[in-house]
Each structure stands twice: as structure tokens, then as C-alpha cells.
Amino acid sequence: MDSVLEQLKNGVLRFRKDVYPEQADFFAQAASEPQRPHTLFITCADSRIDPNLITQTNPGEVFVTRNIGNMVPAYGEMLGGVSAVIEYAVSALEVRHIVVCGHSDCGAMKALLAPGSTDKLPAVSNWLVNAQAALAVAESLHEKDPSRPVLDVLTEQNVLLQMQHLKTHPSVAGAMAHGNLTLSGWIYAIGSGHVCVAEDGQRSFQAI
């Protein structure tokens, strides 16, 4: 008996029994029409983040892609899953906003600060290259002002860097030029539930 699978199956049964009946009309409606999400939400794969929970959105509102460290390879660097999600969300689904959401206690950011810690994880090491420029900026900022933990500075700089990478994607650049798309960077503090936001063009994060 696989106890984890049993746990997951029991969750599905509870969903079917307790949650679905209360929203059956909503799900029937959602199934009968194409999805029209207003937002593409790019965040870390960390299991402690729940995009729908923290934004209080329903199924159908937020198109989500997650990866280690909420990264967006610059266009052409790694044409793969993330690039395809961005292109589809912007050009086909016509989302009006993209959030890049980093978070406290991020394992990817901690790994960047501990060179060698991912030596036995070659795929992870390779992926973290997408944040190398953020590491350089964070170390420089931290040297000038050591009052803030370097991990916090790096987490912010990574979100700002990935927002820059987003703009190298033709679909994003085109939609922004038309005035149809805006970007923001978020930092979610898991322990307190606080979210700080940097709107496009801002270099610092403000609490909501």
C-alpha cells in the first residue's frame, strides 16, 4: 500500500464529497467555455506557495507556471517549457498581467549563495545559471549595505532580473508596446503571509 497515494486519493474523495457539490455550477460553467485567465503567475515550485490561495482567485483566473527559483530564461537561451507557457499565455490567452513571484526561504536562492551545494544535481546547477546576474548584483549591494540579509536581497534581485528576461520574449515585448500587458514582481513571505510588490520599472518592493 502506497500511503502517499492513499492520502492523495482520500483528498480527491473529500473534494468530490465536500467541495465540488457546493460549486458544481461554477465547474460546469468553467468546463463549457474556453479559459480566459487575466494573469500569468510565474512562481517557484516550492510546495509552500499556493498562488490561488494567496491571491484569493478561482480556477480559471490565473494561468500558472512554476519552476525552481521562479525563473524565466531570456528568450533564445532555453526555448522550452517556460518560453512556450509565456508565448501561449500572452499571444493565445491574451493575459493582461504577468506576476513573477519569489518567496522567503527559497532553496534555489540559498543554493546560489552556496556554490558547490548543487554539485550532485547537474540539472539544477544548469538551471540556476538563469539567476547568475542577480547573484552578482545582490553580492555587490550587500557589500555596500550589509544591514539586510543577502538572501533577501538576492530574492528581490532575482525577481527583478526575471522581469527583465520576460521583456526579451517577443510576445511580451509586443503586447507591452501595445499597452495590453503589464508586469509586476512579488515577494511572498511564507511565515507572515505578507506580499511585497515592485511594479514594472520600480527597483524596490512595497508591502501591499
* Residue ranges binding Zn ion (CB under 5 A): 44, 46, 106, 108
Say which DSSP state 145 is in: -
Based on CB atoms, which residue is closest to Zn ion, 106 or 128? 106
Distance between start and end Cα atoms, the chain: 46
Residue 96 to residues 51, 63, 100, 206: CA-CA distances in angstroms?
A: 17, 11, 14, 21
Q: How far apart are CA 26 and CA 30, in angstroms?
A: 6
Minimum CB distance to Zn ion smaller for 44 or for 64: 44
Between 19 and 45, whose beta carbon lies closer to Zn ion? 45
Q: How far is the CB of 102 from Zn ion (least distance, A)?
A: 7
99 vs 76: CA distance, rounded Å: 21
Packed helices 132-144 and 150-166: angle between N→C axes, nearest 10 degrees: 140
State in angstroms the smallest separation of the CB of 68 from Zn ion.
Answer: 7
Q: How far is the CB of 159 from Zn ion (least distance, A)?
A: 11
- Judged by CB, which is closer to Zn ion: 44, or 62? 44
Please state the closest distance from residue 108 (CB atom) to Zn ion, in A: 5
